């Protein structure tokens, strides 16, 4: 699928005779080829950082790395700090769930709009705005005097965090050529892996030795540093789009629809089985209305929006759709390691919050190493499909092996199984982004990146819910074993899988009672790992649909701003008209 960077000419379309002067892309030819992608990428240096020096490239990637770190660590830092926060505010089980979900939900909902806003106003100012929003949310969380204030801070944090992650990936796509992007995505993958691995440790350490508020205070200087680095070292084109004109050009209907659909759908999943029964009208209505609103969003993007948040042309390629599906499955599986392995460590093995984070280091370190190796491999060979195949195969193997984790500390299994899973997780962090960009014209890079991260973010939120449902249902199926050895009040609490209290209760029981409860919980967790193994298998099946392309080292500069958006729109209209004329002639 080649991209045509020429500005559309006049045709029978009812379009202006004078086109905007800003073409959607300039510089050397960057059309993707459908030739055999088994050939190594060219060895010339074209496209290395769009003319930036090595020092400038280092500072740019450092800026994006710091930004990615603060947004990624917030996905897991709360997993070990949440019990302390819950205790401080006397949170209910539903409120406990919201401490984590309040970040993930807005991060998913806000990701698509951030991409389109950056298309209109430029990457640099919008990335800085996302960092500022994240900083404000962190400050509110640190100063929270009640749970509502803390959750509000987490929502604001998530809104900024979603923008940071998506825009950091977009900037890499803007600045570097297709063949050299992978090195820098590999670096961001390392940062992501370290953030996810350190999050539970840092959260647990703050909770045990300092104060849980430091989970938020720590973000202020780091986010401030990220903002300073982005301001001084992110050298990308910034259009002088008038604020009012830019805001009027935004796809507000689409933005409202995608945010509303995401919030309703995830709220329904979050409430189900916790605040209300799954059969309750509130849960059913939220889920159904969310799905319907996603349908409305698709209609708006295809028929109404002048500059859509998510251009539907991204979904015309089977390869793109498969890649989005892989991003979804990968997001669901990776978050399970960082949420449900700590649950195993704390409830089955009796680990403290901080030690449950330490026990995650094998998967976190392996993830980071394989992400780096994958970036180097793709940059050297120009082949992005083999890492996806290998990664997903190891993901299936690793999570299948998790089902063999024992109700006691078998450290050889725990470490080896995590290493295998880490080998699977690392390559699939950035390879799908390379795949999607290889079939996406430069003007759609922000929307493509936003869609990948939207799929991954919504998967993480859904995965925690689905994993919790499976866990609770598997415990409920064994409830008779709990009632046989425990007092009714304790059996009732533990049969509900109460995440705020289970670990402490289990390890205060007598040896006989503890053995029964640990066996029940370990069996319940095995059901989760079966689910995530199957999901990894779905991703592997989807991977065979990904097209192979030559990753050129030649770089085409992606222009942003309203003129570029209009040029891209007219180009698509021209293509549609030519297609209709061709069909009529046939």
Is residue 544 predicted with pLDDT exceeding 50?
yes
The pLDDT tens digits for 493-508 are 777 665 555 677 887 8
Q: Are residues 280 and 196 in the same domain?
A: no
The pLDDT mean for the chain works out to: 83
Read off the pLDDT band of 46 (50, 70, 90). very low
- Coil, strand or helix at 179: coil
Residue 583 is predicted with a pLDDT of 66
If we measure between CA atoms, which residue out of 471, 440, 462, 476 comes closest to residue 558?
A: 440
266 and 323 housed in the same domain: no
Convert the pLDDT of each residue in 278-311 to its tens digit. Answer: 889 999 999 999 999 999 999 999 889 888 988 8
Average confidence (pLDDT) over 57-61:
89
Q: Are residues 205 and 260 in the same domain?
A: no
Residues 294 and 211 in one domain: no
Question: Do residues 116 and 447 touch, judged by C-beta distance below 8 A?
Answer: yes
Cα maximum dimension of the chain: 83
Looking from the CA of 469 toward its CB, the CA atoms found within 13 Å total: 15
The residue-averaged pLDDT of 17-45 equals 40
Q: Is 137 exposed, middle or buried (0-12, 13-18, 19+ CB in 10 A)?
A: buried
Same domain, 567 and 446: yes
pLDDT of 220: 95
Whether residue 203 lies inside any domain: the answer is yes
What is the pLDDT confidence band of residue 343, given thresholds at 50, 70 and 90?
A: confident
Residue 133 lies in a domain: yes
Which of 75, 100, 114 shows the shortest CA–CA distance to 451? 114
Q: Which of 242, 260, 275 is the last residue of a domain?
A: 242
Selected residue with higher pLDDT from 17 and 289 = 289
Inside any domain, residue 28: no
Cα(476)–Cα(127) distance, rounded to whole angstroms? Answer: 46
Boundaries of domain holding 288: 252-305
Q: Can you say whether the dihedral through the CA atoms of 241, 244, 250, 256 is positive or negative?
A: positive
CB distance 151 to 102 below 8 Å:
yes
Domain boundary among 261, 285, 305: 305
Residue 542 class from Cβ within 10 Å (0-12 exposed, 13-18 middle, 19+ buried)? buried
Helical packing angle, 77-89 and 93-121, nearest 10°:
130
Does residue 573 carry a pLDDT above 80? no
How many domains does the chain contain in total?
Answer: 3
> What does the pLDDT read at residue 239?
85
Residue 44 has pLDDT above 80, yes or no: no
In a shared domain, residues 180 and 320: no
First to last CA, the chain: 22
Q: Which residues contact 260 (CB under 8 A, 6 or more apart)?
A: 293
Cα 318 off chain centre by = 21
Percentage with pLDDT > 70 across the chain? 88
- 24: in domain: no
Same domain, residue pair 99 and 212: yes
Nearest to 330 by CA among 438, 412, 436: 436
Instruction: Tell me the HSE value of 183 on the side-chain side, using a 13 A CA sphere.
Output: 17
| 284 and 402 together in one domain | no
pLDDT at 222 over 90: yes
Q: What is the band of 538 on the pLDDT scale with cuts at 50, 70, 90? A: very high
In a domain, 16, yes or no: no
Task: Say if residues 371 and 189 touch (Cβ distance below 8 Å).
Answer: yes
CA dist 567 and 565 (Å) reads 5
Which region, left, alpha or beta, applies to residue 53 given φ > 0 means left and ψ of -120 to 50 means alpha?
beta
Say if 282 falls within a structural domain.
yes
pLDDT band at 354 (very low <50, low <70, confident <90, very high): confident
Q: What is the CATH number of the domain that holds 571?
A: 1.20.1250.20
Q: Judge contact between 310 and 254, C-beta under 8 A.
A: yes
Q: Are 113 and 220 within one domain?
A: yes
Residue 7 covered by a domain: no
102-147 pLDDT tens trace: 898 898 888 889 988 998 999 999 999 999 999 999 999 999 999 9
Residues 138 and 232 in one domain: yes
Residue where a domain stops, chosen among 305, 335, 350: 305
Residues 195 and 271 in one domain: no
Share in percent of the chain as helix, strand, coil (round to 5):
75, 0, 25
Rounded alpha-carbon distances, angstroms, from residue 447 to 42, 64, 139, 148, 451: 28, 18, 30, 33, 6
Instruction: Report the predicted TM-score, pTM, of the whole model to 2 decimal places.
Output: 0.83
pLDDT average, residue stretch 469-487 = 85
Same domain, 270 and 322: no
Question: Is residue 339 situated within a structural domain?
Answer: yes
pLDDT at residue 290, as a whole number: 94
Please give the pLDDT value at position 19: 38
Kindly list the distances between the CA atom of residue 180 and the CA atoms of 242, 325, 359, 428, in Å, as whole numbers in the listed order: 34, 25, 34, 17
């Amino acid at each position: 699928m080649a991209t045509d960077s020429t500005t559309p000419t006049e045709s029978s379309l009812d379009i202006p005779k004078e086109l905007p002067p800003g073409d959607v892309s300039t510089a050397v030819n960057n059309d993707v080829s459908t030739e055999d992608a088994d050939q190594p990428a060219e060895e010339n240096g074209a496209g290395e950082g769009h003319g930036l020096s090595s020092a400038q490239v280092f500072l740019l990637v450092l800026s994006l790395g710091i930004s990615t770190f603060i947004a990624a660590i917030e996905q897991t830092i709360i997993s070990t700090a949440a019990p302390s926060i819950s205790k401080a505010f006397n949170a209910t089980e539903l409120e406990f769930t919201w401490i984590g979900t309040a970040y993930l939900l807005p991060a998913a909902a806000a990701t698509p709009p951030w991409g389109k806003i950056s298309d209109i106003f430029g990457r640099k100012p919008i990335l800085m705005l996302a960092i500022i929003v994240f900083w404000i949310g962190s400050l509110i969380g640190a100063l929270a005097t009640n749970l509502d204030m803390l959750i509000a801070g987490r929502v604001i944090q998530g809104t900024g965090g979603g923008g940071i992650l998506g825009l950091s990936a977009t900037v890499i796509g803007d600045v570097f050529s297709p063949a050299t992007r992978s090195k820098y995505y590999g670096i961001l993958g390392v940062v992501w892996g370290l953030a996810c691995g350190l999050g539970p440790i840092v959260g647990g350490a703050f909770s045990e030795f300092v104060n849980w508020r430091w989970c938020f205070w720590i973000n202020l200087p780091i986010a401030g540093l990220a903002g300073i680095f982005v301001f001084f070292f992110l050298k990308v084109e910034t259009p002088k789009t008038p604020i009012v004109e830019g805001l009027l050009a935004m796809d507000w209907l689409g933005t409202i629809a995608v945010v509303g659909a995401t919030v309703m759908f995830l709220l329904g999943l979050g409430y189900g089985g916790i605040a209300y029964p799954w059969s309750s009208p509130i849960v059913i209505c939220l889920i159904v209305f969310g799905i319907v609103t996603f349908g409305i969003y698709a209609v708006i993007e295809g028929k109404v929006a002048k500059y859509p948040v998510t251009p539907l042309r991204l979904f015309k390629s089977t390869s793109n759709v498969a890649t989005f599906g892989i991003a979804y499955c990968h997001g669901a599986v990776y978050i399970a390691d960082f949420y449900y392995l700590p649950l195993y460590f704390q409830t089955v093995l009796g680990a403290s919050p901080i030690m449950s984070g330490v026990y995650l280091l094998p998967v976190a370190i392996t993830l980071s190493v394989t992400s780096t190796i994958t970036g180097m491999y793709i940059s050297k060979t120009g082949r992005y499909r083999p890492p996806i195949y290998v990664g997903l195969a190891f993901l299936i193997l690793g999570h299948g092996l998790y089902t063999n984790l024992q109700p006691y500390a078998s450290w050889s299994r725990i470490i080896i199984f995590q290493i295998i899973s880490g080998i699977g997780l690392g390559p699939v962090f950035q390879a799908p982004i390379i795949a999607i960009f290889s079939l996406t014209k430069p003007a759609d890079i922000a929307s493509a990146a936003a869609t990948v991260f939207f799929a991954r973010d919504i998967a993480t939120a859904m995965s925690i819910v689905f994993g919790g449902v499976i866990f609770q249902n598997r415990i409920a199926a064994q409830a008779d074993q709990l009632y046989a050895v425990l007092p009714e009040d304790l059996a009732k609490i533990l049969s509900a899988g109460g995440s705020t209290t289970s670990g402490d209760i289990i390890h205060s029981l007598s040896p006989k009672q503890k053995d029964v409860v640990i066996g029940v919980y370990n069996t319940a967790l095995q059901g989760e790992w079966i689910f995530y193994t199957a999901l990894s298998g779905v991703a592997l099946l989807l991977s065979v649909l990904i097209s192979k392309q030559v990753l050129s080292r030649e770089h085409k500069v992606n222009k942003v701003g309203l003129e570029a958006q209009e040029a891209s729109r007219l180009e698509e209209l021209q293509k549609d008209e030519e297609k209709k004329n061709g069909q009529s002639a046939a």
